[in-house]
Structure 1
Amino acid sequence: MTKISIIKKIQLGEERSLPLHHPDAELCFSFYCGSGKIKHEAVLSFASSNFLRSLTESGQLSNYDLAQNYVTKLQDLEDQNRNFPYRYQFYNSKECNNDYLIIFDINEYRDYYGIFVYAVLQIEKN
């Protein structure tokens, strides 16, 4: 099993909540790499993402590591009753040869959908 080490949290801009036409749509999300020089564009979607809980249950990552990197509060990460649990996608940048873990959630409010990005973490897979 591959253990994931968090190198650093990438600073995100103001736009962390993005509209989604329907829950199965794909959304282009951009962020700058850790050095701030290269802009990356990842495609986020419900279909190509997984539940964050699968990483913590397999021991690849701990809720404590996520809380320590200010993804969200530890109690929120451990809440089993969330309607839309946290999801994740890996993104490998060919330009800077870094791996990233994008943590997000898909929200629904009165038939309007949106993606909220909690964190982009530069990671290393050991």
Structure 2
Amino acid sequence: MTKISIIKKIQLGGQRSFPTEIPDFEIPFNFYCGNGVIKHETIISFKNSSFLNSLIETGQITNKDLAQFHITKLENLEDPNRTFLYRYQICNFKDCHNTYLLFFDIDEYRDYYSCFIYGVLQIESHSL
């Protein structure tokens, strides 16, 4: 099993909510490296992401870790009605050798969809 250690939360600027017409979307998203020098560009997509509860159920990360780094409130993370809303995507970048964990959700309202970015964490993975 792999345990995820959080190094730091990445400060996000600009747009964090994106409308989309279909749930199977691809949205370009940019953020700066943990050292603030390199601008990373990634594509957030439904097909390249997984449900956050899969990380939590396997013990790789905890709700308390995420709440401590202000991804969202602990009550939201522990709410069983919201469990399948949260998604994550792991990004590795060769130009800085860092790994990032992006958290987002997809919301549907009357056949319109939107994606909201909760946060980006710089992480390290450790085998147990």
Range into which the TM-score falls when normalised by the shorter chain: over 0.9
For structure 2, the residue ranges without an aligned partner over 5 or more in a row are none
Which aligned pairs between 1:36-47 and structure 2 lie closer than 5 A? 36-47=36-47
Looking at structure 2, the residues matched to 84 and 59 of structure 1 have their Cα atoms a distance apart, in angstroms, of: 17
Q: Which residue of 2 aligns with 1:26?
A: 26
Answering whether residue 65 of structure 2 is matched by residue 72 of structure 1, we say: no
Query: Is 2:81 the partner of 1:81?
Result: yes
Partner of 1:105: 105
Identical positions, percent? 63
Q: 1:119 is matched with which residue?
A: 119
Letter in 1 for 2:74: L
Maintained 8 Å contact 2:53/2:84: no
Find runs of 4+ consecutive structure 1 residues off by over 4 angstroms. Answer: none
Tell me the TM-score normalised to structure 1 length: 0.95
CA RMSD of the aligned region, Å?
A: 1.2
- CA drift of 1:111 comes to 2.1
**How much has 1:83 moved relative to structure 2?**
7.8
Q: SS state of the match for residue 81, structure 1?
A: coil
Q: Which runs of 5+ in 1 are unaligned?
A: none
Q: How many residues align?
A: 126
TM, length-normalised to structure 2: 0.94
